[in-house]
Amino acid sequence: MARRSRIPATKYPVERFTLDNGLRVVLTPDRSAPVIGVAVVYDVGIRSEPEGRTGFAHLFEHLMFQGSENLEKLAHFRHVQGAGGTFNGSTHLDYTDYFETLPSNALERALFLEADRMRGPRLTEENLRNQVDVVKEEIRVNVLNRPYGGFPWLTLPPVMFDTFPNAHDGYGSFDDLESATVADAADFFRRYYASGNAVLAVSGDIDVAEATELVTRHFGDVPARLAPKRPDFTEPDLTAERRTSYTDALAPLPAVAGAWRVPDPISDFAGYLPYVVLAEVLTDGDASRLVERLVQRDRTVTSLGGYLGFMGDPFDVRDPTALLLQAHLPPGGDVDKVLRTIDEELDRLATDGLTDGELDRTQARMATHLLRDTDAVLGRALRMAVLEQQRGEPGLLNELPRLVGEVTEEQVRAAAATLRPERRAAIEVIAGGAR
């Protein structure tokens, strides 16, 4: 029996159109404050980079900030910050995004800047070598020289997956980064940074007619290039547990992460949603299942988290993906015992169900997070751009809180019953930095 959601849908307006060059556009006006969010999402991410070019998707994100067809290096920075705005970009498994938050009177400035680099970034030997060095330093800071660097988003995929797109290190090896050429970058741009492979979203204080005219003026003459055919990245599920360990010389405490494959987030969204709720039931807040058992009662772990997607992105990831649980243990902690306890709690949830109020409480928290994340105009633009890119449904943003609230106890129990040890990939961090 369907569960009626107590959580209402939001009502952000959505206007969609496609330019002749294939660029998809989403506009969502909100005149409540004189601020706009602008996001451009390209359908290229870590999974798309070629073998022998690990880290290339992220490297190319850096190159997109090094000047463009009509702008010298650092001009993008000056134009955005000079208007009182902020900007950034990020690389994900399935897409790369570029975005700005600006006063609404700077809309045309933002559109010009994004259209100019969509026509072509400045791909020079100097820019490439400089950004290779920047990315290498980022890897040193975020992975090599910090405790638990890359755990588990870089360390667990090669345990769970067998194919290069899903299993490789998305930050990249120094050898691959150093051997990248300007020709490689130009080919990557031609293939993936096509107008037909992109979505532009603008949210906030805009007049739809005026914004449509400005988008058409600035992006309409970007040369048309079709989106490349997206490869099939699917892999079979595990039929036997996979587990490995490594010593982290900087880690003061042991840690463990486990992951199980989940239904396709796009083609089986109804089957996927219960796993999103399950992760929160297990780990969100002091009253959640695993926090109450492992942290508070047994004290076998010091911290615990659970989420969907290796980068914690339940509503902007494609198949194959997973539900992850990760925990840090006290000195001398027993990883085997922690995994056994997780299995016990999953069995108990599948067999006995949830306690009174447990599901309502979890769904209310989830809806609060969803509403908060899209309250700001940039969060709204980014979410809608990715929903358009992956599903052709930017208006799904309005429905997500309600859909989360419609997940039933039976669905959560059935999801928990599939998280068996024989379907799990796990990785243990041995503390090499413990004193």
DSSP of 230-241: PP----PPPSS-
pLDDT reported for residue 403: 96
Q: Sheet with 303-308: list strands edge to edge.
A: 242-248, 424-431, 255-261, 322-328, 303-308
Contacts (Cβ under 8 Å, ≥6 apart) of 372: none
Verify that 247 and 158 share a domain, yes or no. Answer: no
Are 411 and 275 members of one domain? yes
Q: Are residues 162 and 206 in the same domain?
A: yes
- Count the residues in the chain: 435
The verdict on 175 and 246 lying in the same domain is no
Question: Which of 414, 388, 391, 237 is closest to 321 using CA atoms?
Answer: 237
Give me the pLDDT at residue 217, please: 98
98 vs 304: CA distance, rounded Å: 31
pLDDT of residue 1: 53
Residue 180 within a domain: yes
Coil vs helix vs strand at 329: coil
Are residues 62 and 231 in contact, defined by beta-carbon separation less than 8 angstroms? no
My answer on whether 359 and 322 are in the same domain is yes
Indicate if 251 and 157 belong to the same structural domain.
Answer: no
Total number of domains in the chain: 2
Distance, in Å, from the CA atom of 317 to the CA atom of 40, rounded to the nearest integer, reads 17
- 259: which strand partners? 324, 425
Residue 84: partners with Cβ closer than 8 Å, 6 or more residues away = 102, 103, 106
Alpha carbon 419 to its chain centroid, in Å, reads: 22
Structure tokens, 82 = 């000079």
What integer pLDDT is reported at residue 8 of this predicted model?
A: 80
Residue 228 in any domain: the answer is no
* pLDDT value, residue 6: 78
Residue 260 has phi, psi (to 5 degrees) of -130, 140
Please indicate, yes or no, if residue 7 is contained in any of the structural domains.
no
Q: 3-state class of 323 per DSSP? A: strand
- Based on the domain organization, do 421 and 276 belong to the same domain? yes
Q: Which of 186, 220, 254 is the last residue of a domain?
A: 220
What is the pTM for the complete model shown? 0.95
In a shared domain, residues 149 and 251: no
Q: Which of 185, 220, 255 is the last residue of a domain?
A: 220
233 lies in a domain?
no
| CA–CA gap between residue 78 and residue 359 (Å, rounded) | 48
- What confidence score (pLDDT) does residue 434 get? 62
Quote the CA–CA distance of 191 and 210 in Å, as a whole number.
31
Closest CA to 411 of 363, 360, 350: 350
Whether 1 maps to a domain, the answer reads no
What is the domain range of residue 125? 15-220
Q: CA-to-CA distance for 40 and 342, rounded, in angstroms?
A: 40
- Radius of gyration of the chain from Cα atoms? 23
**The last residue of a domain, from among 175, 190, 220:** 220
Residues whose CB falls within 8 Å of the CB of residue 297, separated by 6 or more in sequence, listed in order:
none
Same domain, 356 and 269: yes
Closest among 265, 254, 418, 250 to 350, alpha carbons compared: 418
We report the CATH number of the domain holding residue 420 as 3.30.830.10
Q: Are 3 and 408 in contact, with CB atoms under 8 Å apart?
A: yes
Please tell me whether residues 144 and 284 are part of one structural domain: no
Mean pLDDT by 10 residues, the chain (435 residues): 73 97 98 97 96 96 94 93 96 97 98 97 96 98 96 97 97 96 96 97 98 98 94 95 97 97 98 98 93 96 96 94 98 96 97 95 94 95 98 97 96 98 98 77
Q: Decide if 10 is inside a domain.
A: no
pLDDT for 433 equals 76
Closest CA to 257 of 312, 213, 212: 312
Would 322 be classed as within a structural domain? yes
Same domain, 170 and 206: yes
- Whether residue 23 is found in the same domain as residue 96: yes
Cα 164 from Cα 64, distance rounded (Å): 25
